[in-house]
Amino acid sequence: MAQRPTDNIGKYLHNFPGGLKLRHHKALSCCKPLPARYLPLSTEYCIPVSQHLGQPAEVVVSVGQQVKKGQALSTPGKTGNAPGAFVHAPTSGEITAIEKRPVPHPSGLNSLCIVLQPDGKDRWVELEPVDDYRKLDCDELIQRVQAAGIVGLGGAVFPTDIKLQGTSCLINTLILNGVECEPYISCDETLMKQAPGKIIEGALILCHVFKIEKVIIAIEDPMDVCNLELEQSISEFNAGDCVEVIRVPMLYPEGGERQLIQVLSGHEVPAGQLPISLGILVQNVATVAAIRDAVIDGIPLIERLVTVTGAGIREPQNVHARIGTPIADLVDFCGGYTAGIARLVMGGPLMGLGLRNDQLPIIKASNCVLALTHADITSTQPEMPCINCGNCVSVCPAGLLPQTLQTVIRAENFEALESLNLDACIECGCCDYVCPSHIPLVDYFRYGKGEQRAQAKEKQESDIARLRFERREQRLEKQQAERLARHQRRKRALAGSSSKKDSVAAAIARAKARKQVLAANQPDTNSETGKGENS
Amino acid sequence: MTAAVIILTLLALIFGLALGYAAIRFRIEGNPVADEIEAILPQTQCAQCGYPGCRPYAEAIAAEEAEINRCPPGGEAGIKQLAELLGKDIIPLDADVGIEKALPEVAIIHEDVCIGCTKCIQACPVDAILGAAKQMHTVIATECTGCELCIPPCPVDCIDMIPTKIDITNWHWGKPIPITTISEIADTRGEEVA
């Protein structure tokens, strides 16, 4: 039997190219206190409709409507096949506005949000728990995951139901990604310590439905306590024969899907393909726990663990925050800011998103709120010319050539990017970090990717326009021909009925012609009479 | 001498037959150069170039009857691509034909003013206007190429061009603006340089 790429997965650890060893800064926030505390109700929740990758959702509530906790506020848009996800009410209360508000997005643009004023009662909508998940089939599971609005909680926020749909039964290995490689963030570690059972049960559900043979929970080397908790939970569920915890060495960005697969299996996911091509499904541990809640208890994704950390926060910790909570409320809950705060970031220090203020809401993608002080950040440096030192090449985890890419993008030669595989860039920021010339490489790559996408869209649109133009031309030609034919028909008909004289003349002409034919066919003896008649 | 003549004649005959056969067997329908040019043109079908559509303009370029700088919607990028394809020099856009727009535009019909005359429907090169006689018309925004051909025929002047809105679904990162001098850094931080 041919060997599958997943046969020896996890047996030996492998390397991925590049990567950085970074200081972790996780002790700041991790597991103080355990279990993480729940944030009290805020005075207002602002829930952005587009929190996921893909199509904006369709709002299904109206201003003034009373909603219950867990009630769907918007459903995936019906237009096209683009992915979409449900968004739910984080608590019970009244919808006070549906309007464009600032959201955590790099564009800084406002986006449609549903504003909810809590009534303080926190009443749940009627949930539909499942007694035995073993009775569920593939479609039912995907339907439940979709109805719960679950998206990838590792940061990519791709709708999970769509990822699972593409999976069907082609996979044999599930990798649970508990490798939180970016410094400061510790929400997944906290989850693994406080609720390992949820993760294991979620994994077993996916195993059952997708007939997965093996589950690997990947954690980082220093996460000893996690390891113990997970092992204990595995034995509680009697899942020791299919679930395995593997510790991988600390190296940024090992938590990237493709990098983790490479470390565990030694195989690289081919460019432009998904891990399914190797028979692997990768899910973040928090996503799997959310799947468990959605399937067994019927609870939609309305809250998540958020790490509030950094030297700019008085009491860094992990908290359970509802989606839509203003970031300021989280900061207040954690004792407020310290004196030297310089920058507020959503996400980690390398891939995070700088925020303008703390009035923005927590969204499904918010794994961390990081407040950095002046001591943490270097001042903005002027960009110097590239000296071709090659540092960026040696740290790139995707094996790309950042310096070449940067030159090509700067020259706006976007057609050349395809052959340089810009798509494979995961925007981890390693190249930025090591660049001695302070070139904002990732910014260039994002620009290049945006332009590539925009051009592809333009091409698609122009193809449609060409098709429509050609169809129209054909139609007009056809119409013209039909009109002409109709016209001629009518003309002939008119000519036919215009005067009797003409028709009589025509009849005479026809008779004459017939006679001539007859005469020509007559034998010679009759020729004279024929002549006589004609003359 | 005779042998040489015979051999050469035979060779000429063989090659002649081979070429003649190839000309029939591998005949290409249409004009491949015009096809390639057309693929670069933006397909707005706006006729600003003076030809009735993108295809006729592409054919005119292929026949070297038209310059490559007569397409405002394609703009500078389009001229660059055409120049590369045809091995010509990059020339600026012909100012007589129009100017390149910063953002793509789509037409919008003010529906309360529309009298339902169907004139714009007849003018639209891509069938992006929906309506019937004495019924209100509307533009299918996703199909509109922004060619502006519907504006002149409108007797009540109820069609406007609006630039497409940038929101978080179609926004993308712009080109990084490099900070190059110390004073510029100070500017971005709002500090004074001593």
Nearest-Cα residue of chain B relative to residue A450? B172
- For chains A and B, CB pairs below 8 A equal 90
| Helix, strand, coil percentages for chain B (3-state, nearest 5) | 35, 5, 60
Q: Are A95 and A103 in contact (CB under 8 A)?
A: no
Q: Are A185 and A368 in contact (CB under 8 A)?
A: yes
Distance from CA of B156 to the nearest CA of A (A): 25
Of B55, B172, B176, the CB nearest to A453: B172
* Per-residue pLDDT, A530: 42
Indicate whether A462 pLDDT > 50: yes
Across-strand partners of A37?
A319
Residues A281 and A419 occupy one common structural domain: no
For the domain spanning B32-86, the CATH number is 1.10.15.40
Asked which of A452, A469, A486 is the last residue of a domain, the reply is A469
* Per-residue pLDDT, A321: 94
In a domain, A235, yes or no: yes
* Rounded Cα gap, residues A246 and A248, in angstroms: 6
* Per-residue pLDDT, B2: 92
In a domain, A66, yes or no: yes
Give the pLDDT confidence of B29-81 residue by residue, as tens digits. Answer: 777 888 889 888 888 888 888 898 888 899 999 888 888 888 888 888 889 88
- The DSSP code for A151 is B
Across-strand partners of A346?
A353, A369
User: Which residues on A lie below 8 Å from B41 (Cβ)?
Assistant: 462
* Per-residue pLDDT, A535: 36
Q: Are A73 and A61 in contact (CB under 8 A)?
A: yes
Residues A170 and A237 occupy one common structural domain: yes
One-letter amino acid at A289 equals A
In a domain, A170, yes or no: yes
Grouping H, G, I as helix, E, B as strand and the rest as coil, residue A442 is helix
Going by their DSSP bridges, the two strands A341-346 and A353-354 should be labelled as antiparallel
Residues A204 and A152 occupy one common structural domain: yes
Distance from CA of A132 to the nearest CA of B (A): 40
Give the pLDDT confidence of A137-158 residue by residue, as tens digits. Answer: 888 888 888 889 898 888 778 8
Give the pLDDT confidence of A438-452 residue by residue, as tens digits. Answer: 999 999 999 999 999
The pLDDT mean for chain A works out to 86
* Per-residue pLDDT, A360: 93
Interchain CB distance below 8 Å, A446 and B173? yes
Indicate whether A299 pLDDT > 50: yes
In a domain, A523, yes or no: no
- For residues A9 and A215, the model is more confident at A215
pLDDT band at A167 (very low <50, low <70, confident <90, very high): confident
Interchain CB distance below 8 Å, B43 and A466? yes
- pTM score: 0.82
* Rounded Cα gap, residues B20 and A358, in angstroms: 77
Selected residue of B85, B166, B167 to mutate for chain A interface (largest A Cβ count, 10 A): B167
Grouping H, G, I as helix, E, B as strand and the rest as coil, residue A362 is coil
Residues A280 and A418 occupy one common structural domain: no
Of A383, A450, A466, the CB nearest to B172: A450
Indicate whether A224 pLDDT > 90: no
pLDDT band at A225 (very low <50, low <70, confident <90, very high): confident
Comparing CA positions, the residue from A146, A87, A93 lying closest to residue A113 is A87
Comparing CA positions, the residue from A192, A177, A229, A250 lying closest to residue A30 is A192
Range of the domain at A48: 27-346
Distance from CA of A112 to the nearest CA of B (A): 10
* Per-residue pLDDT, A529: 44
In a domain, A353, yes or no: no
Interchain CB distance below 8 Å, A472 and B38? no
One-letter amino acid at A472 equals R
Residues A189 and A322 occupy one common structural domain: yes
* Rounded Cα gap, residues A417 and A452, in angstroms: 8
Selected residue of B82, B85, B126, B127 to mutate for chain A interface (largest A Cβ count, 10 A): B126
Selected residue of A99, A353, A461, A464 to mutate for chain B interface (largest B Cβ count, 10 A): A461
* Per-residue pLDDT, A527: 44
In a domain, A36, yes or no: yes
Q: What is the mean pLDDT of residues A468-486?
A: 93
Q: How many CB atoms lie within 10 A of CB A261?
A: 26
Going by their DSSP bridges, the two strands A243-248 and A214-220 should be labelled as parallel
Distance from CA of B143 to the nearest CA of A (A): 7
* Per-residue pLDDT, B7: 96
**Residue B190 touches chain A, beta carbons under 8 Å:** no
Residues A109 and A211 occupy one common structural domain: yes
pLDDT band at A240 (very low <50, low <70, confident <90, very high): confident
In a domain, A270, yes or no: yes
Residues of A with a Cβ under 8 Å from any B Cβ are 50, 55-56, 103, 105-107, 109, 111, 379-383, 440, 443-444, 446-447, 449-451, 453-454, 458, 461-466, 468-469, 471-473
Residues A129 and A198 occupy one common structural domain: yes
**Residue B2 touches chain A, beta carbons under 8 Å:** no
* Rounded Cα gap, residues A214 and A280, in angstroms: 10
Give the pLDDT confidence of B119-167 residue by residue, as tens digits. Answer: 999 999 999 999 888 888 999 988 898 888 999 999 999 999 998 888 8
Q: How many helices (H) and strands (E) does chain A have?
A: 14, 17
* Rounded Cα gap, residues B68 and B24, in angstroms: 32
Backbone angles phi, psi at A322, to 5 degrees: -75, 150
Domain count, chain A: 2
Across-strand partners of A178?
A219
Selected residue of B38, B45, B103 to mutate for chain A interface (largest A Cβ count, 10 A): B45
Residues A86 and A177 occupy one common structural domain: yes
User: Which residues on B lie below 8 Å from A451 (Cβ)?
Assistant: 172
Indicate whether A534 pLDDT > 50: no
Asked which of A301, A326, A346 is the last residue of a domain, the reply is A346
* Rounded Cα gap, residues B74 and B100, in angstroms: 8
Of A380, A447, A473, the CB nearest to B173: A447
Give the pLDDT confidence of A310-328 residue by residue, as tens digits. Answer: 999 999 999 999 999 999 9
- Residue A106 CB-half CA count within 13 A: 14
User: Which residues on B lie below 8 Å from A449 (Cβ)?
Assistant: 172-173
User: Which residues on A lie below 8 Å from B168 (Cβ)?
Assistant: 50, 103, 105, 107, 109, 111
* Rounded Cα gap, residues A360 and A328, in angstroms: 8
Interchain CB distance below 8 Å, B126 and A50? no
**Residue B30 touches chain A, beta carbons under 8 Å:** no
The pair of three-digit structure tokens given for residue A86, joined into one six-digit string: 């449900």
* Per-residue pLDDT, A108: 84
Going by their DSSP bridges, the two strands A37-38 and A317-322 should be labelled as parallel
Indicate whether B12 pLDDT > 70: yes
The pair of three-digit structure tokens given for residue A78, joined into one six-digit string: 């019906």
User: Which residues on B lie below 8 Å from A466 (Cβ)?
Assistant: 38, 43, 54
pLDDT band at A532 (very low <50, low <70, confident <90, very high): very low
Interchain CB distance below 8 Å, B168 and A105? yes
Residues A96 and A37 occupy one common structural domain: yes
Q: What is the mean pLDDT of residues B154-182?
A: 83
Indicate whether A524 pLDDT > 70: no
Task: Identify which of A163-167, A427-431, B170-174 has the greatest average pLDDT.
Answer: A427-431
* Per-residue pLDDT, A28: 82
- A422-441 CB burial, b ≥16 within 10 A, e <16: beebbbbbbbbbbbebebbb
* Rounded Cα gap, residues B150 and B157, in angstroms: 10
Indicate whether B18 pLDDT > 60: yes
